[in-house]
Structure 1
Amino acid sequence: MENSLVKKSIIKVIKKNIGVSILLVFAVCGVVIISLVPPQILKHIIDYNLIPKSTNRLLLLAIGYMSAILLIGVIDFMKEAILTVLGQKITKEIRIAMMEKLERINTMFFSANESGIVVSRFTNDVDAINSMFTSGIIGMIIDCFKVIGIVISIWLFSRRLGIITLMLLPIIYSITRLFQKRMLRAQIENRILVGKVNNHISESLKNIQMIKAYSKEGYMEDKYIEHLMKNYKTIEKVNFYDSVFSPIIQLIRAAAIGTIVVLSSERLNYLGISLGMVAASIDLISNLFAPIENLGMELQSIQQAVSGIHRVNDFYNENEEECKNKSMKGEHIVSNREEVRISFNDVTFSYEEGEDILQNINLEIIPQEKVTFVGKTGVGKSTLFKLIMGLLKPTKGTITVNGVDVYSISNSEKRKIFGYVDQSFHTIKGTVVDQVSLQDKSITREQVEKALDFVGLTDYIGTLERGYNTEVGKGNLFSQGQKQLLAIARAIVTNPPILILDEITANLDAITEEKIVSVLQRASQGHTILSISHRLSSMIASDTIVILEKGRVKNVSSPEELLQSDDWYRSHIALEKLTWS
């Protein structure tokens, strides 16, 4: 399969563990060959020792019979141990490669795929692939070779019995093929629905406070049950096929053994074989159907793995971000913050072909200008900010900083150019310092403390048990307003020339909002500021207002001029004053 992540991971692990892989081949061959030995010993015990009542070699043959069975168990244990080790190494390689892919994957992927579905590919799908090695394809290969060896052994006993055995194989193959097709469809459907269930749980936990605040527990529970019931029905299909397959094979085995006994009876003697051969043939027939019974379980593991492989490879083949110019240093692009110019050159963007979110945006932002973007919800303001930071690539046109396309700048350099603050602050595992530096070694402790002091958090941090070294876990060490101040500190710690503020006061009360705006007013000195504000009356002082409507720029002017010339802006300001008065 082209660009197959699973194939590459398997080859890589085998090359690194060539000795173990050879030992696995030896174990597989040993299990197949030695499993054919006990029936042959049983034949000799009956024909040459029990029937003639000779005990000369009986003890030796009995020891040989038991030793062969013991050896089968030992080699089978070795095979399972090797498979477990190799399987874990392969899944480790797959997950490492998937994480590396996640770092390169195009941002558009995350707009089209929910987080729970992506997590499901890393967990459920990779675990299904692991089962292919521990209880799937290798076991199926062993069982197939066992079937071939058993058929040859029976043929050597009696050609007629061999023909009967061969007649059974197409029947068993047809039944297996029928179940294979139906189980594959059910497994693929199940993988998709498991991802939806995981995503619903993840989203519910993420938004649990909002759900409780708006008494939406019943709605979320109903949606969860809906997803769960759909998943349950697909699992029922899988379990039904799995449970029916084994009894059918058992019935065929009983019929085959009964036929051998009848045809070998003294009255018919159709097969012309000795009693020892009859006993050995029954043992071989039982051994023939044992691997076929196992094929049902192995088949299920393989179907799960196949669906998992498809989904993992689909993820691995997702479009990646175009090569960024790593040699381009952020400080070279904006060597002088007094000369930072941002240009929107006929920018058009759509998430899906034919459905433009933004259309033909043309703007020039001069150095240290304060620009606020306003418009109705869904008009494309946040999407525009993602384009400005180079997270998304315009469908048409470019956005440049000092003539350099922002999409071509490497992510590691963007932090030296842009400081981004949105309405939600995402903590990471680590100390208070880590929340600001994001564990970037190029950012010094002095820079972090200076940023925290600037936003007014120094005194509060001093009251914490370990100060700046306090671990920020799941507890509520910081209020919502303090988290926004941390977000501002995180944005300004590298002193970037451009600050991007995405509705950062949307979830704050009036007093906290006033404090945040005050900090931002001070932070705006010497910076180019691009902001989105849900309340025009509370935004920081702006030089220019850009009004977006239906994905286009409707108006661009100063706040004072818009109050005189734009009806929408004037009515919006008046409505806010009436609402908040």
Structure 2
Amino acid sequence: MEVENSLIKRSIVKVIKDNIWTSIILVIAVCGVVVTSLIPPQILKYIVDHNLVPKDSDKLFSFAFAYIGVLVFIGIFDFVKEAFLTVLGQKITKEIRIEMMEKLEMINANFFSSNSSGVVVSRFINDVDAINSLFTSGIIGMMVDCFKLIGIVISIWMFSSKLGITILLLLPAIYGITRLFQKRMLKAQIENRILIGRVNNHISESLKNIQMIKSYSKEGYMEDNYKKYLLDNYKTVETVNFYDSVYSPLIQLTRAFVIAFIVVLSSKHLNFLGISLGMVAASIELISNLFAPIENLGMELQNIQQAVSGIKRVNDFYGEPEDDLKKDELKLEDIIPNREDVRISFNDITFQYEEGSDVLQNINLNLKPNEKVTFVGRTGVGKTTLFKLIMGLLKPTKGSITINGVDVYDIKNSEKRKIFGYVDQSFHIIKGTVAEQISIQDESITREQIEKALDFVGLAEYVSALENGMDTKVTSDTFFSQGQKQLLSIARAIVTNPPVLLLDEITANLDSITEEKIVSVLQKASEAHTILSISHRLSSIIACDTVVILEHSRVKNVGSPEELLENDAWYRSHITLEKLTWS
């Protein structure tokens, strides 16, 4: 299990260094468990040979108490071992999740296009929990049990070399059985990890789209899919449980056979092993103790297989490409010294989510300062992807997008929010106050900026009437109406007074009255901003200078609304159809 230079190894080393005394106590407890577990059979041998057989009861009670005392010490060492293992395991788990979250913040946005939220959540929760079991009930437990096995074999060999040889011959058979089960269990565990992610994703998507599911009566469809995913997952769990349930009975039957074999060979008639009655009793206890760790190894093996699959998936996650961290140190004032002079250029842009499948091809555009541009086209043509490229969230497969000659992908994220204001179709509520819905808890944004943003979108009066004004806690998604949420979304976008606004279908889910109010707010905002918008309804949204028609991932036509009405049949037909629909 190679974790060299991996996230897992770094986390383990860091936790051990930060908790050196806890680690030392854990090592002492592990040694104590191993050593003390070998003492009771020796005491039992002495009791039988020197007290029960000669019927000398003078020291019987002393040895009985010694026997019980050693068992108490075994329990104490075992308790300390488990307690400190749990503490270290939880700290390692916390450290891994912190490292993963730091990775998540740097990971390339393409990752989220090919990995659903449920899959990512599964890596953070299920896979990391499986890794935690590697320490709490996996490797350490296996080490303890292996040391116990070595000590038991040595003790038995000291009683009888013949019996020791018998046990040594038995161990390879047990190893062979264990190895056979290991291979099959690992395959099933890895498949189970993948299917758990699929189940989690289905639950997440169902909750996210529950209103749409109910509106279109798709409960049965979603339930059938959920049952299918559960059934697939159940089959892998059933496979793992089958191997686990078969493994333990095999070990128990072998133990019963070996004990019976020793009793027969040690009987008065055969006396093949040449050992005393006390040695027979001690050997039976040692052999019972021998098979106990072997049984434990089966469970520990299962935990380790789960952890191995978890480690593989976490390390795969940690190996995902990151955004280029060598961002230019340019500030807003360096990139845009004059707000009246914002020039955006699309330089032969091509983009692919998957190799061989172009979402956008050879996009070349030069936007003038304070130009109002609307991108139109059929669903799936790449309009929203183009916005993500403009904001530098995605890196073009070929070409570049520049603002005043600076590649937007090379601009630091902290400066991007000062340059771009993005308004989506939906407003995502965060935990916090009304003010924090606007600032997104950015400490560099002042209350004065928030007040101006709320006043600009016409929500200042409504917010001031709330119980604690801007400091009122937003407790649910229904705290604001749909129209108010869209106004909050605009306030969130303009609070830093960015020179460029990006509007992605922001009136798609609004009624005509609310849409009119939103459009009037945006008309006011358009006076001092370069505005890029996406629209399906060509007759809506703010008045624009230029319309860019996208078709088959390319720019089909560019021009003013008036020019396109004259020379573009597709644009003219859609404008006419919308007027007929809304009249």
Q: Calculate the TM-score normalised by the size of structure 2.
A: 0.98
Shift in Å at residue 391 of structure 1? 0.2
Maintained 8 Å contact 1:374/1:381: yes
Work out whether 1:290 is the aligned partner of 2:322: no
Instruction: Report the alpha carbon displacement of residue 24 of structure 1 after superposing the two structures with TM.
Output: 1.3
Residue 508 of structure 1 aligns with which residue? 510
The answer for the alignment partner of 1:266 in structure 2 is: 268
In 2, the alpha carbon distance for the partners of 1:89 and 1:17 equals 9
Give the letter aligned to residue 11 of structure 2.
S
1:324 deviation in Å? 4.2
Question: What is the aligned counterpart of 2:567 among 565, 568, 574?
Answer: 565
- Report the CA distance between 1:201 and its aligned residue: 0.6
Paired position in structure 2 for 1:251? 253
Residue in 2 that maps onto 1:90: 92
| TM-superposition CA deviations, 1:468-506 (whole Å, max 9, x none) | 111112241111111100000011111110000011111
SS in 1 for 2:496: coil
Indicate the residue corresponding to 1:16 in structure 2: 18
2:283 is the counterpart of 1:281:
yes
Matched with 1:461 is: 463
Alignment-derived partner of residue 351 in structure 1: 353
What's the counterpart of residue 127 of structure 1? 129
2:482 maps to: 480
Q: Deviations for 1:7-44, whole angstroms, at most 9, x for unmatched residues? A: 11001111111222122111111111111111011111
Aligned to 1:554, the other structure's residue is in SS state strand
5 Å matches for 1:59-458?
59-325=61-327, 327-458=329-460
- Per-residue CA deviation, residues 270-291 of structure 1 (Å, 9 max, x unaligned), is 1111101000000000000011
- Aligned residues of 2:139 and 2:304 also touching (Cα < 8 A): yes
1:512-527 aligned within 5 A: 512-527=514-529
Tell me the residue number matched to 1:556: 558
Farther off after superposition, 48-57 or 91-100: 48-57
SS at match of 2:296: helix
Name the SS of the counterpart of 2:211 in structure 1. helix
* Aligned-partner SS, 1:373: strand
State the 1:48 CA deviation. 1.2
Which shows bigger deviation, 288-297 or 51-60?
Answer: 51-60
Instruction: In structure 1, give the amino acid aligned to 2:159.
Output: F
Q: Which letter does structure 1 place at the counterpart of 2:493?
A: A
Residue 478 of structure 1 aligns to a residue whose secondary structure is coil
Q: In 2, Cα distance between the equivalents of 1:221 and 1:473?
A: 30
3-state SS of 2:340 partner: helix
Question: Percent identity, aligned pairs only?
Answer: 75
SS in 1 for 2:539: helix
Give the CA deviation at 1:326.
5.4
How far is the alpha carbon of 1:3 from its aligned partner? 3.9
Alpha-carbon offset, residue 331 of structure 1 = 2.6
Task: Show CA shifts across 1:263-309 (max 9, x none).
Answer: 00111111111101000000000000011111121111111111111
SS in 2 for 1:259: helix
With structure 1 as the length reference, what TM-score do the two structures score?
Answer: 0.99
What amino acid does structure 2 have at the position aligned with 1:136?
A: G
Residues 200 and 224, structure 1, Cα contact 8 Å, conserved in 2: yes
Deviations along 1:137-182, one digit per CA (max 9) or x if unpaired, are 1011100110111011111100110111011101110111111111
Q: Report the Cα offset of residue 350 of structure 1.
A: 0.4
Q: Tell me which moved more, 475-484 or 266-275.
A: 475-484
Contact (CA 8 Å) 1:331, 1:416: kept in 2 or not? no
SS of 1:537's partner is coil
Cα displacement (A) at 1:56: 3.0
8 A contact 2:422–2:502 mirrored in 1: yes
Match of 2:535 in 1: 533
Gap regions ≥5 residues in structure 2 = none
Q: Which amino acid aligns with 2:93?
A: T
Deviation at 1:68, TM superposition (A): 1.0
Distance in 2 (CA, whole Å) between partners of 1:266 and 1:64 is 30
Q: Is the 8 Å Cα contact of residues 324 and 407 (structure 1) preserved in structure 2?
A: no
Q: Which structure 1 residue ranges, 4+ long, deviate > 4 Å from structure 2?
A: none
Supply the distance in 1 between the matched residues of 2:81 and 2:375 (Cα, whole angstroms). Answer: 65
Aligned equivalents of 2:327 and 2:396: distance in 1?
Answer: 18
Q: Please tell me the residue identity of whatever aligns with 1:36.
A: L
CA contact (8 A) 2:504 2:534 kept: yes
1:572 positional shift = 0.8
RMSD (CA atoms): 1.0
